[in-house]
A = this chain, B = another copy of it.
Amino acid sequence: MSKELYYNDFTLGQRMESASSITIEKADAIGFAQQFDPQPYHIDDEGAKNTMFGELIVSGWHTAAVSMRLKLETDFRYVAGGLLGLGVEYLRWPRPTFPGDTLRIVITVLEKRQSNSKPDKGIIKYKLETFNHTNDLVMEMVTSVIMPIA
């Protein structure tokens, strides 16, 4: 059996950092944007020159997807039955991510409560912060997950 964690294993204020980091390579940034967010400042250097950024930036939705991957490099990966998100309370990108940036995340447990409709499950609200390799905050979100109590 692999390790399994439950609602009762997480504590209010608990802080978890991703065990590894992910670098968003330029080709991957352009590939993601071509598929999902094909705007001039995401898909080619020339097009980006004439925009408010003046250079290529990574789609915020690519930063979000990579952050979700990094979330599974914390103890959340061991949650019994998988990590089921209940929606996002807010999501902000205070700074752009640039191709070549290396990202890591920090999760902080903000709230814990038993589910009203499913008493054998608990809901954990947490903040997820994504930082680049120079420790600038590039994404911040507050979201909740539901998991078995014990």
Q: Residues on A close to B: CB < 8 A? A: 32, 35-41, 51-52, 59-61, 64-66, 68-69, 72, 81-85, 87-93
Contact = CB atoms under 8 A, between A and B. Distances in A.
A66 B90 CA distance: 19
Given A41-B82, A60-B85, A85-B60, A36 B90 contact: no
A72 B39 contact: yes
B52 A84 contact: yes
Give the oligomeric copy count: 2
Contacts of A91: 87-88, 91
A48 to B, nearest CB: 9
Given A82-B51, A91-B87, A69 B36 contact: yes
A90 B92 contact: no
